[in-house]
């Protein structure tokens, strides 16, 4: 099922819609094509009654209106947002959660006020170390263990990240944030999986210890290890990944012709310097060409002119990104992440005929 704008419906309510990744053809994802991932019914906030409070471990708690926020010096950044559950459908055996294919990812230009500016005005205490971002939406989470009463959607970012580049955004690709993307105000945490970019943001709460909320520990967390002892950690940075947009899975491709393979690569903490493509299931890899420049926290599209085989049959394509730190996309899923962070080389099977 798809919407009029072509988004694929994974869940009707709360609204969870995916961009059909085979339609990728622009650097910035149009707002109407941008994936929507909401855990609860979207709250109906109005800009004229909107208030953002900044409190907790600060010397001067603040309350700002929408107009006050908009009157502060604005900053615009391009950032790719990827849901941590993107590409879950590739996991075998299947894992619980929305069966996202390739399109729970998009890139937009976000406009707003640096969170650092608000925290500076509020004046941090000496022991401040974590910043909770709380949304106005509430409900009961879908995944157990479920808290007994409805909870809000809230997530924290470490203070150094909050001061570095988190944006309190009200604009997306030059227009007001659409309702489903967090109108009137959301956070954008560049380089972190989408769960960090809290929509319908109404409260910023500074803490002097690590936040232990549901979306930090139960959901959107994974098992790490310290000296052999398992510890639960929140997901954070988007991992290095590339995806093939075209051809799509089981697309019929004409034999013995040139076909333009097309995709995008993002994530990781260093510049993406190459994307390679295999059209023979991983025996040989060829370099692809980038269509976009290097820009921190934003994807780079790439393409490759494939001379398709003369021999009809099924062929498996995979792309593999590498970055300036020498990291390469892995070839297997890391089970520590259970159902998240699916960033290994994803096989796309096509039919040559
Ligand atoms: N308040 C609130 N913020 C939220 C969510 C939510 O359910 N409620 N979902 C998060 C998740 S999991 C993702 S991937 C992104 C998706 O942002 P988008 O819907 O604008 O694409 O929003 C994040 N912010
Ligand atoms: Mo997400």
Question: 215-259 pLDDT, tens per residue?
Answer: 999 999 999 999 999 999 999 999 999 999 999 999 999 999 999
Same domain, 123 and 163: yes
Same domain, 281 and 332: yes
250, 272, 252, 275: which is closest to 262 by C-alpha? 275
CA-to-CA distance for 41 and 38, rounded, in angstroms? 7
C-alpha of residue 215 to centroid of ligand 2, in Å: 11
67 occurs within a structural domain: yes
Instruction: Tell me which residue has its CA closest to atom 9 in ligand 1.
Output: 38
**Residue 127, domain CATH:** 3.90.420.10
Instruction: Tell me which residue has its CA closest to atom 23 in ligand 1.
Output: 195
Rounded to the nearest angstrom, the gap between the alpha carbon of residue 38 and the centroid of all alpha carbons in its chain is 13
62 occurs within a structural domain: yes
In the predicted model, what is the mean pLDDT of the chain?
A: 97
3 occurs within a structural domain: no
CA-to-CA distance for 269 and 323, rounded, in angstroms? 8
Same domain, 225 and 267: no
Q: What is the pLDDT of residue 352?
A: 98
Tell me the whole-structure pTM to 2 decimals.
Answer: 0.97
Q: In this structure, what are the phi and psi dihedrals at residue 219, rounded to the nearest 5 degrees?
A: -100, 160
- Tell me how far apart the terminal alpha carbons of the chain are, to the nearest angstrom: 28
83 occurs within a structural domain: yes
Same domain, 90 and 52: yes
Same domain, 210 and 279: no
Q: 159-189 burial, b for 16+ CB within 10 Å, e for fewer?
A: bebbbebbbbbbbbbeeebebbbbbbbbbbb
C-alpha of residue 302 to centroid of ligand 1, in Å: 27
Instruction: Tell me which residue has its CA closest to atom 18 in ligand 1.
Output: 36
Same domain, 199 and 254: no
Rounded to the nearest angstrom, the gap between the alpha carbon of residue 353 and the centroid of all alpha carbons in its chain is 36
Q: Which of 194, 217, 234 corresponds to the end of one domain?
A: 234
Q: Which of 234, 253, 281 corresponds to the end of one domain?
A: 234
CA-to-CA distance for 176 and 183, rounded, in angstroms? 7
Instruction: Tell me which residue has its CA closest to atom 5 in ligand 1.
Output: 38
CB 16 within 8 A of CB 1: no
Same domain, 30 and 131: yes
CB 234 within 8 A of CB 224: no
**Which helix (H) or strand (E) is 159 found in, with range?**
helix 159-164
DSSP secondary structure code for residue 295 in this structure: -
List, for the chain, all residue ranges whose pLDDT scores fall below the cut of 50: none
Give, for ligand 1, the residue of 132, 135, 197, 238 to mutate: max count of ligand atoms closer than 8 Å to Cβ: 197
**Number of structural domains found in the chain:** 2
Q: Which listed ligand is nearest to 201 at the C-alpha?
A: 1
Same domain, 117 and 192: yes
Place of tokens 């930090």: 216
| Residue 293: CB atoms within 10 Å | 8
> Which residues are in the CB-under-5-Å shell of ion ligand 2?
37, 83, 194-195
C-alpha of residue 244 to centroid of ligand 2, in Å: 20
Q: What is the pLDDT of residue 2?
A: 81
Same domain, 99 and 42: yes
Residue 251: domain span: 241-352
Q: Which of 234, 263, 287 corresponds to the end of one domain?
A: 234
Same domain, 157 and 297: no
Q: What is the pLDDT of residue 318?
A: 98
Same domain, 342 and 263: yes
CA-to-CA distance for 89 and 342, rounded, in angstroms? 9
**Residue 268, domain CATH:** 2.60.40.650
2 occurs within a structural domain: no
C-alpha of residue 263 to centroid of ligand 1, in Å: 24
Contacts of residue 229, Cβ cutoff 8 Å, sequence gap at least 6: none
- Return the structure tokens found at 69: 């926020």
C-alpha of residue 270 to centroid of ligand 2, in Å: 22
Compute the C-alpha angle 69/200/147, nearest 5°. 140
**Which helix (H) or strand (E) is 185 found in, with range?**
none
Q: Which residues line ligand 1 (CB under 6 A)?
A: 34-39, 81, 83, 135, 137, 153, 181, 194-195, 197-200
CB 60 within 8 A of CB 122: yes
1 occurs within a structural domain: no
333 occurs within a structural domain: yes
**Which helix (H) or strand (E) is 300 found in, with range?**
strand 300-307
Q: Which listed ligand is nearest to 81 at the C-alpha?
A: 1
Same domain, 224 and 273: no
């Amino acid at each position: 099922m798809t919407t009029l704008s072509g988004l694929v419906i994974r869940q009707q309510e709360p609204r969870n819609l995916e961009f059909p990744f085979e339609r990728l053809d622009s650097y910035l994802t149009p707002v109407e094509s941008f994936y929507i991932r909401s855990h609860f019914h979207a709250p109906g906030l109005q800009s004229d009654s909107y208030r953002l409070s900044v409190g907790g471990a600060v010397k001067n708690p603040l309350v700002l209106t929408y107009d006050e926020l908009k009157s502060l010096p604005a900053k615009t950044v391009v950032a790719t947002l990827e849901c941590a559950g993107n590409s879950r459908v590739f996991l075998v055996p299947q894992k619980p959660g929305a069966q996202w294919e390739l399109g729970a990812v998009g890139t937009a230009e976000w406009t707003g006020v640096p969170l650092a500016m608000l925290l500076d005005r509020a004046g941090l205490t000496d022991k401040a170390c974590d910043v909770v971002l709380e949304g106005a939406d509430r409900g009961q989470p879908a995944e157990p263990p479920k808290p007994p009463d409805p909870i809000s959607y809230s997530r924290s970012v470490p203070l150094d990240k909050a001061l570095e580049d988190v944006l309190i955004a009200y604009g997306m690709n030059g227009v007001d944030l659409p309702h489903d993307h967090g109108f009137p105000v959301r956070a954008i945490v560049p380089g972190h999986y989408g769960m960090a970019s809290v929509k319908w943001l109404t409260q910023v709460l500074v803490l002097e210890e690590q936040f232990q909320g549901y979306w930090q520990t139960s959901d959107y967390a994974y098992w790490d290890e310290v000296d052999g002892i398992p510890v639960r950690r929140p997901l954070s940075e988007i991992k290095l990944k590339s995806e093939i947009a075209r051809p799509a899975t089981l697309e019929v491709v004409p034999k013995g012709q040139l076909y333009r393979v097309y995709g995008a690569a993002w994530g990781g903490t260093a510049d993406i310097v190459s994307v390679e493509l295999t059209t023979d299931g991983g025996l040989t890899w060829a370099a692809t060409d980038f269509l976009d420049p290097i820009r921190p926290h934003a994807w780079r599209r790439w393409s490759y002119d494939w001379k398709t085989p003369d021999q009809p049959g099924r062929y498996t394509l995979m792309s593999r990104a590498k970055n300036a730190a020498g990291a390469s996309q892995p070839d297997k899923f890391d089970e520590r992440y259970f159902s998240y962070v699916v960033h290994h080389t994803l096989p796309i099977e096509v039919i040559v005929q």
